Structure 1
Amino acid sequence: MAIVSFVGAGPGDKDLITLKGYRRLAAADVVIYAGSLVNLDLLDYCKDSAEKFDSASMTLQDIIDAMAAAVNDNKSVVRLQTGDFSIYGSIREQIEELKKLNIEYECIPGVSSFLGAASSLGVEYTVPEVAQSVIITRMAGRTPVPDKESLKSLAQHQTSMVIFLSVQGIQKVVKELREGGYSETTPATVIYKATWPDERHVTGTLADIAEKVHQAGIRRTALIMVGEFLGDQYNYSHLYDANFSHMYRKKQTTDDKH
């Protein structure tokens, strides 16, 4: 019997879909894709006979009905979602509805945009002795955020932070981060459509990033990255340090070097 495959499309670049995701997409009889977010060039991987549905104008029930009809006809279905669907992907509700109908499904992860953004900038979120944790969050909007997860509350940790779905309120974001504990000199970058051909990024600090983003005209489809991992401070890790031993390598001595 056919199943539904949830496939993470990657952050934008059509080559950043996983090989397993590509194979499912290339073989699919029906593809339901998030048209407002997914790079449409990915649909070039589909076979000519594949039926394609843009979920941007569909309700949850429309999506489930399309999936169920296809599976009942023994057609394989790919639900193509932006980035990796485990972050702001809204797949839980789809999976729960499929369970009610006893429709089998699988989940094939993708590359999240926050990972694509780090690669585009050539940065590491977890710099030794600078930051060893990453907070992924969003500002409250039409979808509320629990009070204990407010930006002001999370900012108290002053670690690496990636803020989704919030660039339209960049001034409020900065205000809450400052009130929570980040200094005005904390590095910040806003990256628009990471890994897409029209990617842009704006770099500054919490003192000026809001104004720079406003001047750049960035209003949506962007991530806000905040933290000292973006700055000039860094430390080498112990992993490749000749003076550090671990299970795969012994500490080098002076004699070892000659």
Structure 2
Amino acid sequence: MINFVGAGSGAADLITVRGKALIEQADVIIYAGSLVNPALLDYKKDSCEVYNSAVMTLEEVIEVMKSAEKSGKTTVRLHTGDPCLYGAVREQMDELERLGIPFESCPGVSSFCGAAAALHAEYTLPDVSQTVIITRMAGRTPVPEKEEISLLAAHQATMVIFLSTGMLKELETRLLSGGYGEDTEAAIVYKATWPDEQVFRCTVSTLAETAEKNGIKKTALIVVGKVLGDTYDRSELYNPAFTTEFRKAVK
């Protein structure tokens, strides 16, 4: 059995209970060494074989899985955050299906959740934003034209932007051309939930300047939107004048 496991947003104790148990039971672990906190490997048993996928190709990863399966071993494929976001996991699953090798997925805490925790933020505030757009700038991996940043920015929703720290000047331009004001609240969250986490609050027009000033070049998320401000409506759910299935309104 191959278990795809979300390692969580960074801190070793933010992996799920199920994910930790799978690591403890694994005979083989293939982990994304460029992003996963190596402290998670402390949970493994001494006899476990460990492979760092940062220096491997897809074909090499699959070969290790095939070999482990042939030997009756249990494999954990440890991905950063939750593998469903920018995890390059589908191509592995498709190949395993082709080979007839069984697999399961164990979700993890995504770094966009860790960033919200670091910011003490709620991404969906009444009368401000009820939508979260998770996206990235086009780099060596292209982005579909219809998902170009300025087009998404036109919604004025909360945006969480992955894998774009090295392109912040261009990101600023696209966000502004899409409709965000220069003074729209923004933040750079470096290594959310890791021991060396850093949070830098700024505006859309000062993203690049803030990153350069603080030496942030990678491993950071960009959060944009007025949910980072202080103006919002109170939730109706906890309004004493609002009747719900569980309580009646106070008149």
Give the TM-score band, short-chain normalised. over 0.9
Could you tell me the TM-score, scaled by structure 2's length?
A: 0.99
Unaligned runs of 5+ in 2: none
2:210 maps to: 212
Which residue, 85, 88, 104 being the options, matches 1:90? Answer: 88
2:235 maps to: 237
What letter matches 1:93 in structure 2?
E
1:39 maps to: 37
What letter matches 1:23 in structure 2?
A
> Once superposed, what is the RMSD of the aligned Cα atoms?
0.6
Q: CA deviation at 1:103?
A: 0.2
* Deviation readout 1:87-115 (Å, 9 max, x if unpaired): 00000000011011100000000000000
Q: CA deviation at 1:249?
A: 1.0
Does residue 69 of the first structure (1) align with residue 60 of the second (2)? no
1:55 maps to: 53
User: Runs of 4 or more off by more than 4 Å in structure 1?
Assistant: none
Q: CA deviation at 1:207?
A: 2.2
What letter matches 2:162 in structure 1?
F
Q: CA deviation at 1:234?
A: 1.9
Are the aligned partners of 1:139 and 1:151 in contact in 2 as well (CA < 8 Å)?
A: yes
What letter matches 1:160 in structure 2?
T
Are the aligned partners of 1:128 and 1:237 in contact in 2 as well (CA < 8 Å)?
A: yes
- Separation of aligned partners in 1, 2:206 and 2:78: 37
2:140 maps to: 142
- Separation of aligned partners in 1, 2:102 and 2:205: 50
Does residue 171 of the first structure (1) align with residue 169 of the second (2)? yes
Does residue 133 of the first structure (1) align with residue 131 of the second (2)? yes
Unaligned runs of 5+ in 1: 254-258
Which residue, 218, 221, 231 being the options, matches 2:219? Answer: 221
- Separation of aligned partners in 2, 1:165 and 1:118: 17
What letter matches 1:72 in structure 2?
K
What SS is found at the alignment partner of 1:219?
coil
Which residue, 109, 113, 135 being the options, matches 2:107? Answer: 109
Are the aligned partners of 1:9 and 1:17 in contact in 2 as well (CA < 8 Å)?
A: yes
What SS is found at the alignment partner of 1:157?
coil
What SS is found at the alignment partner of 1:182?
coil
* Deviation readout 1:61-92 (Å, 9 max, x if unpaired): 00000001001111000000000000000000
2:195 maps to: 197
- Separation of aligned partners in 1, 2:5 and 2:236: 36
Are the aligned partners of 2:114 and 2:192 in contact in 1 as well (CA < 8 Å)?
A: yes
1:256 maps to: none
- Separation of aligned partners in 2, 1:7 and 1:172: 34
Are the aligned partners of 1:8 and 1:85 in contact in 2 as well (CA < 8 Å)?
A: yes
- Separation of aligned partners in 2, 1:115 and 1:209: 20
- Separation of aligned partners in 1, 2:207 and 2:82: 27
What SS is found at the alignment partner of 1:42?
helix
Which residue, 153, 157, 168 being the options, matches 1:155? Answer: 153
Could you tell me the TM-score, scaled by structure 1's length?
A: 0.96
- Separation of aligned partners in 1, 2:206 and 2:31: 37
* Deviation readout 1:43-66 (Å, 9 max, x if unpaired): 000001100000000000000000
Which residue, 17, 20, 44 being the options, matches 2:18? Answer: 20
Are the aligned partners of 1:202 and 1:209 in contact in 2 as well (CA < 8 Å)?
A: no
1:188 maps to: 186
| Number of aligned residue pairs | 251
Q: CA deviation at 1:120?
A: 1.3
Q: CA deviation at 1:206?
A: 1.3
